[in-house]
Amino acid sequence: MDNRVWIQSVPNFSEGRDLQKVEQIVDCFRAKPGIKLLDYSTDRDHNRCVVTVVGQPKPLGAAMVEAIGKAVELIDMTRHEGLHPRIGCVDVVPFTPVRNATMEDADALAKSVAKRAAERFGQPFYYYGESASAPHRRELSAIRKGQFEGLAEKMKDPLWKPDVGPDTIHPTGGATAIGARQAMIFYNVNLDTSNADIARQIAQRVRSIGGGLRYVKALGIAKEERQLVQVSMNLTDYTKSSLYAALELVRMEAARYGVRVVGSELVGFVPLQALLDSAEYYLQLEDFHVEQVLEFNL
Amino acid sequence: MDNRVWIQSVPNFSEGRDLQKVEQIVDCFRAKPGIKLLDYSTDRDHNRCVVTVVGQPKPLGAAMVEAIGKAVELIDMTRHEGLHPRIGCVDVVPFTPVRNATMEDADALAKSVAKRAAERFGQPFYYYGESASAPHRRELSAIRKGQFEGLAEKMKDPLWKPDVGPDTIHPTGGATAIGARQAMIFYNVNLDTSNADIARQIAQRVRSIGGGLRYVKALGIAKEERQLVQVSMNLTDYTKSSLYAALELVRMEAARYGVRVVGSELVGFVPLQALLDSAEYYLQLEDFHVEQVLEFNL
CATH number at residue B224: 3.30.70.670
Cα–Cα distance measured from residue A84 to residue B162, given in angstroms and rounded to the nearest whole number: 71
Q: Which domain holds residue B227?
A: 185-292
Query: Given a cut of 60, is residue A1 above it in pLDDT?
Result: no
Cα torsion through B160, B186, B254, A249, rounded to 10: -140
> Is the domain of B170 the same as that of B286?
no
**Chain A (69-128) residues lying within 8 Å, Cβ to Cβ, of chain B:** 98-99
**Phi and psi, residue A176, nearest 5°:** -135, 140
- Count of domains for chain A: 2
Cα–Cα distance measured from residue A156 to residue A260, given in angstroms and rounded to the nearest whole number: 51
Cα–Cα distance measured from residue B14 to residue A213, given in angstroms and rounded to the nearest whole number: 54
- The answer to whether the beta carbons of residues A36 and A55 sit under 8 Å apart is yes
Q: Which chain A positions have a beta carbon within 8 Å of B244's beta carbon?
A: 282-283
Domain-located, residue B120? yes
> Is the domain of B197 the same as that of B138?
no
Q: Which of A155, A180, A205 is a domain's end point? A: A180
Domain-located, residue A66? yes
- Using pLDDT thresholds of 50, 70 and 90, give the confidence band for residue A163: very high
With a CB cutoff of 8 Å and minimum separation 6, the contacts of A41 are: A49, A50
Domain-located, residue A47? yes
- State whether the Cα torsion B143-B144-B145-B148 is positive or negative: positive
> Is the domain of A63 the same as that of A28?
yes
The neighbour count for residue A283, using CB atoms within 10 Å, is 25
**Chain B contact for A243, CB < 8 A?**
yes
Query: Given a cut of 60, is residue A258 above it in pLDDT?
Result: yes
Q: Which of A180, A198, A216 is a domain's end point? A: A180
> Is the domain of B272 the same as that of B174?
no
- Residue B18: burial class (beta carbons within 10 Å; 0-12, 13-18, 19+): middle
Query: What does the mean pLDDT of chain A come to?
Result: 96
**CATH number reported for the structural domain that contains residue A87 in this entry:** 3.30.990.10
Domain-located, residue A285? yes
Amino acid identity of A245? A
Looking at the DSSP assignment, which residues form a beta bridge with residue A12?
Answer: A50, A92
Query: Given a cut of 80, is residue A263 above it in pLDDT?
Result: yes
Q: Which position has the higher pLDDT, A26 or A3?
A: A26
> Is the domain of A101 the same as that of A26?
yes
> Is the domain of B146 the same as that of B263?
no
Cα–Cα distance measured from residue A188 to residue B5, given in angstroms and rounded to the nearest whole number: 36
Query: Given a cut of 90, is residue A117 above it in pLDDT?
Result: yes
Query: Given a cut of 60, is residue A119 above it in pLDDT?
Result: yes
Instruction: Compare CB distances from B263 to A54, A190, A286 and report the shortest one's residue.
Output: A286
Cα–Cα distance measured from residue B152 to residue B169, given in angstroms and rounded to the nearest whole number: 6
Q: Which of A180, A208, A226 is a domain's end point? A: A180
> Is the domain of A240 the same as that of A167?
no
Q: Which chain A positions have a beta carbon within 8 Å of B271's beta carbon?
A: 293-295
> Is the domain of B243 the same as that of B157?
no
Cα–Cα distance measured from residue A120 to residue A267, given in angstroms and rounded to the nearest whole number: 35
Amino acid identity of B164? V
With a CB cutoff of 8 Å and minimum separation 6, the contacts of B259 are: B191, B192, B193, B198
* Pairing of β B216-223 and β B228-235: antiparallel
* Pairing of β A125-127 and β A176-180: parallel
Residue A2 has a pLDDT of: 66
Show pLDDT as tens, one digit a residue, over chain B (298 residues).
567 899 999 999 999 999 999 999 999 999 999 999 999 999 999 999 999 999 999 999 999 999 999 999 999 999 999 989 999 999 999 999 999 999 999 999 999 999 999 999 999 999 999 999 999 999 999 999 999 999 999 999 999 999 999 999 999 999 999 999 999 999 999 999 999 999 999 999 999 999 999 999 999 999 988 899 999 999 999 999 999 999 999 999 999 999 999 999 999 999 999 999 999 999 999 999 999 999 888 8
- Residue B205: burial class (beta carbons within 10 Å; 0-12, 13-18, 19+): middle
**Chain B contact for A272, CB < 8 A?**
yes
With a CB cutoff of 8 Å and minimum separation 6, the contacts of A60 are: A7, A9, A34, A35, A53, A54, A109
**Chain A contact for B8, CB < 8 A?**
yes
Contact between A99 and B295 using a beta-carbon 8 Å cutoff: yes
Is A289 catalytic? The answer is no
> Is the domain of A277 the same as that of A172?
no
Residue A298 has a pLDDT of: 83
Largest Cα–Cα distance of chain B, in whole Å?
Answer: 58
**Chain B contact for A202, CB < 8 A?**
no
> Is the domain of B90 the same as that of B196?
no
Contact between A270 and B263 using a beta-carbon 8 Å cutoff: no
Domain-located, residue A297? no
CA atoms within 13 A on the CB side of B297: 23
> Is the domain of A217 the same as that of A161?
no
**Nearest residue to A67 via CA among A26, A126, A108:** A26
Domain-located, residue B1? no
> Is the domain of A31 the same as that of A137?
yes
Instruction: Enter the pTM of the model.
Output: 0.88
Domain-located, residue A136? yes
Domain-located, residue A216? yes
